[in-house]
Chain A
Amino acid sequence: MNLKHICLAILPTLLLGGCYTPPQRPAEPMTQRPSYPQSPELEQGAVIAPAQERGGIQISAYEPASRVSLVPMHSKAVEALLKSANQQAQNNDLDGAVGTIERALRIEPRNAHLWHRLANLRLDQGKVMLASDLAVKSLALAGADVELKQKNWLLIARAKRSAGDITGAKVAERKARMLH
C-alpha cells in the first residue's frame, strides 16, 4: 500500500470533527398509501348489446364448426418468424429457434404447421416425449391437411422409436400410411 496515503489517512482522522451534514433520510415513517390514479369512469351501459333473440336457435346451436383450410394461413409476421427460426436452427441455435416458434405460436396459436415445426425442433434436441406430444397437438389442429398429418405421424413414430417404444412406432407408421 502506498505509505504516503496511509499517513495521509491517519493524520486528518485525528484532526477532524463532526461537521458534515448528512443527507436527510426520511425522518418519519412512510405510512401513507401511495396515491394511484383512479380508473376512469366508464359510461353507463356503454357497449352492452341487448340479448339477441334468435328464432332459428334450435338448429344453429349444433351445426358443425367449419374446417380449417388446406393451405397453411401463415401471415407475413409468422412467415418472418419461421424464416428466422430456420436460420437459428441452421446455426445450431435450437433453443433460439424454439423461442422464435413459440413467439409465432403466440400470434397464430392454431397454426398446425407451427406446432409441427416446434415438434421437429424438440425432436432434434432429443426431447422425444415432448416432441411426440407437440406432434399430437399439431394433428389435432391439422384439419384436412393430410400431408401434415402424415408428417406428424412419422414424427411420432421416430420419437417413439428413439424412446424404445417399437410397437408404438409401428402403430404410428401404420397411421401415416393409412392416410394415403
Chain B
Amino acid sequence: MAKTPRTTKKALAKRKTTSRARRAKSTKRRPRKGGRFGRWFSRLLALGFLFSLVLGVYVLYLDHTVRVKFEGKRWAVPARVYGRPLELYPGASVSADQLAAELQRMGYQKSTHPKQAASWSRNKERILIRSRSFNFWDGEEPGRFLDVRFSGGQIEHLAEVGKGDLALIRLEAPEIGSIYPAHNEDRVLVRRDELPEKLVKALIVMEDRTFYEHHGVDPKAIARAIWANLRAGGVVQGGSTLTQQLVKNFYLTRERSLIRKLNEAAMALLLDAHYDKDEILGAYANEIYLGQDGGRAIHGFGLASHFYFNRSLGELNLSQLALLVAQVRGPSFYDPRRHPKRAKVRRDLVLTVMQEQGLITQKEALAAIKAPLGVQQKGDGRGSYPAFMDLVRRQLHRDYREEDLTSEGLRIFTTLDPWAQQQAEEAVTERLSRLEKGYRLPSGKLESAAILVDSESGEIRALVGGRSARYAGFNRALDAVRPIGSLVKPVVYLAALMQTDRYNLVTRIDDTAPSIKGEDGELWTPDNYDHVSHGKVPLHTALANSYNLATVRLGMEVGLGTVSDLLEQMGISRPIQQVPAMLLGSLSLSPLEVAQLYQTFAAGGFYSPLRAIRGVQSNSGQPLQRYPLTVKQSVPSGPVYLLNRNLQEVVRNGTGKGLANYVDTSLNIAGKTGTTDKLRDSWFAGFSGDKVAVVWVGRDDNKPAGLTGSTGALQVWGDMMRRLQPVSLELLRPDSVETVWIDPESGFRADEGCEGARQYPFIAGTAPTVTASCVGQVGTSMRRLFRSFFE
C-alpha cells in the first residue's frame, strides 16, 4: 500500500480495497500509473455498459408497456343503458307537462327561443323543441326543430318547423344508467375532434402551456416548480406536463416515490416519441379523474359533462367548460356541489387566465364569470333506477359475460318509462306513509314493491324495489318471494272455467267448510275471511267476494294437479307444492312472477315473457341482439274472457271496490286482492286496457303488516294508476263466447223480460237450458219496451 505512488487520483484511491491492492502488487512490472487508470476506466466502462444495458432493456420494457396499452383497447367502457324513447305523434296521450318533464330529465335547456340543439320553450299548450340526433339500433333519428301542440292531455298537432306536419317522431332514448366494472370507473368516451376547442385551450393554458413544444417532459416547468416549492417550503406548484399526468393516471399506481416519478418521466418521453400530441390529448381527456359519485369514479370530460351538467360535452357553454377545467386540479377540493364557492373561484381563475392569454374576449370572460355554476342536482337524469337496473343486469347476464358488459361500451335499450317509474315511486312512498299514519302502524316499517307492465307486449315500464326506490338495496320486486294469498284464486277459477262442460260463471258452488285431511293426517279447516259460510253461491260471486270455502271446494273438484299445471302453463317455473292450502295462496311468488301471471290474463290468454330489454347495440352502433316480441296462446281465449269479466266484477262489486276512490269506474278495471295469514302480506294485482300492475305491501321481518289486500296494496295500486291515466279495459269477446239472459235467483235461462235478469257470457252452447218460470209471462213485452228506454 505504502508503495502506491501519490500520483494516483484521490478519487480512485479512496475506493481501493485491500484485496484489490494486493492484486495490484502482483502486476508490478506493468507501468503502474497508466495501467491502473486504464483498468479502472475499463471496469467503469463495463459497469456503465452493463448499467446502460439494464436500463436499455428496462426502457424497452417501458416502451412496450406504453405502446401495448395505448394502442390496444385503452379503456373499459361501461355499457350504457337507455330507457324507452318517447314517441310523439298526433293522438299520443302525452301531456305538455309530461313532455316538459321528459325534456328536463334529458338535460334539455329551457329558453325563450330554442336556438341550439337540446333546448326547448313552452307557451302553455305548445312546446318547441330543438331535438338531439340519436343513433337508434335501426338508424339515426336526426335532430329536428319540432312544434308540438297539446289539447286535453294529448298531442294534437306535430310539425317540423318550416317543413310541415309529421306523422310521428321519437325523441332520443333517455339514459338511465351504466354498467361499470368492479373497480368502479365510469366514462363516456369522446374523440379528439369532439373536444370543444375552448376546453382544449383552457386545459393547455392552465395545466401545460408548452404542451405542443415539449417532448413529454418540460424541464423548465420542473425547475420553476422546484424553485417555487423551495421558496414556499412545501409543495405549492407542479411541473408535470399533461403527458406526465396521463402516464400517471393511465399506467402507474398512486404511490409517490422517486422510482415512480422516474418511470413517469421516462414513459412520458416514450409516449411523446411514439404518438402525436392530439392522440395524447384525446387519451388525456378520457382518462383524467374528474369526480366521485358514491362508489363510481368519474373519468374523462365526456362523463364529467353528464355528471355535472346532465348534457353532452359539445353542448356546454364557456363557463361550464371552464368549471370542468377547474376540476382537473382537484375534483374533491373543487367539488362544485360540496364546495361551490371554491369551485367558482377556481373557475373564474380559469376564465381570467383564458382572457389574459387572448383565448376569449373580455366581454366573454365577464359574461361567463357572471354565470352561475349551473351544476345539476345529483340523481337528475341517469343513474337512479337501481331496481330496474338490477333486473336489466340479471337479464343480460344470461347472454353476456360480465367483462363484456363492463368494458365493451355496449348500448342497451330497455323498456323503462322514466315518467311512469316516477309516478310509481311517488305512489309507493306517499301511500305507505299515509297507511302508517291512518292505521297507526309503526312508522317506517312498511315496505312495498310495485311493477308496471305493458299488457300486450309484456314490456316492463316501471319497477319499484322498495320504499326508498332511488337507493339500491333489497330488490323486493324480484326477490321478495311471498305467499300470494287470494291472488292465486283466478287461476283456480280459470282452471274450472276451462272445463266448459262442468263450470260456467253461474254454476252453483258450495261455500261451506270442507273437511280435508292433509298428508300428515291432520284435518285442514280453512275459513272465510268474515267467518261466515255463504251456502250455495254462483261461481262468479265466490270469486268477486273472494270466498275461501267455495274456492277450496272448487279447486279440490278441479284437482290440485290441474291448477298446478295451469300455473306452470302460465309461466310460473317455481316448483309448486300440490297441497290444498295452495288453493288459498300458500304458494310463494315474487311480484315479478305475479305480474307474469296477470299479464297472461290481460292479454286474453296470450303469454309473453316479461321483458326489460329491447335490444343491444355494439359500441360502433352495430345491432348485436334483439329481444323480440313473442306471444304464445297458453290459455284458450273463451275461458280467459269469462274470468276477466269476473275480475271486473271484483273491482265493481267485490273486494276491489275501493279502487273507485282512485280511478273512474268507467275504466272497467279488472283485478284481485290478496291477503295472507295474520295480515302479513297485502297484495293487489290488476289491469286496465293497456297496463298490468302488481303491488305488494308488507314488512321485511315478515311480521304482520296489519293490512288486507284492499286496505293496503289496493291503495297504492289505485294511487299509482290514477297518476298514469290508464286506458279503459274493453274486453274483446271471442267468437266462442255468447251472452245469454240469466235469472240470477235460480241460475236458469231467462229473457230480457224477466225481473232482475242479467246477461252473462258463456262459452257457446254451455249456457243453462232450463228456463226460468218468468220466461214468456204476460207483461214481458211491455217490460221489455219499458227497459229499452231506461237502459
Contact = CB atoms under 8 A, between A and B. Distances in A.
B240 A20 contact: yes
Contacts of A100: 138
A36 B384 contact: yes
A22 B457 contact: no
A59 B664 CA distance: 18
By CB atoms of chain B within 10 A, which of A16, A34, A57, A95 has the most? Answer: A16
Given A51-B661, A62-B739, A77-B167, A26 B733 contact: no
B631 A133 contact: yes
A9 interface: yes
Given A13-B262, A54-B665, A96-B138, A5 B270 contact: yes
Provide the main secondary structure of the chain A interface: loop
A44 to B, nearest CB: 9
A143 B471 CA distance: 46
Given A2-B273, A140-B606, A64 B739 contact: yes
A140 B637 contact: yes
Contacts of A109: 454-457, 690
B258 A18 contact: yes
Contacts of B660: 49-52
A22 B732 contact: no
B239 A20 contact: yes
A25 B254 contact: yes
A130 B633 CA distance: 11
B283 interface: no
B517 to A, nearest CB: 38
Contacts of B626: 95, 98-99
B690 A133 contact: no
A68 B732 contact: yes
A80 B261 contact: no
A56 B258 CA distance: 90
B231 interface: no
Interface residues of B, number: 115
Interface in A79-102: 79-81, 95-96, 98-100, 102
Contacts of B89: 75-77, 107
Interface in A7-54: 8-10, 12-28, 30, 33-37, 39, 42, 47-52, 54
B167 A66 contact: no
A62 B633 contact: no
B168 A80 contact: yes
Contacts of B364: none
A106 interface: yes
B631 A17 contact: no
A140 to B, nearest CB: 5
A58 to B, nearest CB: 6
By CB atoms of chain B within 10 A, which of A13, A35, A57, A137 has the most? Answer: A13
Given A10-B266, A79-B167, A143 B732 contact: yes
A21 B237 contact: yes
A34 B265 contact: no
A81 B511 CA distance: 53
Contacts of A9: 59, 266, 269-270, 273
B377 interface: yes
Contact of A76 (B87, B138, B167, B239): B167
A118 B256 CA distance: 63
B135 to A, nearest CB: 14
B87 A16 contact: no
Nearest to B422: A39
Contacts of A71: none
B300 to A, nearest CB: 13
8 contacts: A1-B63, A49-B662, A65-B731, A67-B732, A96-B138, A109-B455, A109-B456, A140-B637
Given A12-B219, A77-B167, A133-B632, 7 more contacts: A20-B225, A36-B470, A52-B664, A60-B791, A105-B457, A109-B454, A118-B629
Interface of A: 1-2, 5-6, 8-10, 12-28, 30, 33-37, 39, 42, 47-52, 54, 56-68, 75-77, 79-81, 95-96, 98-100, 102-103, 105-107, 109-110, 118, 130, 133-134, 136-137, 140-141, 143
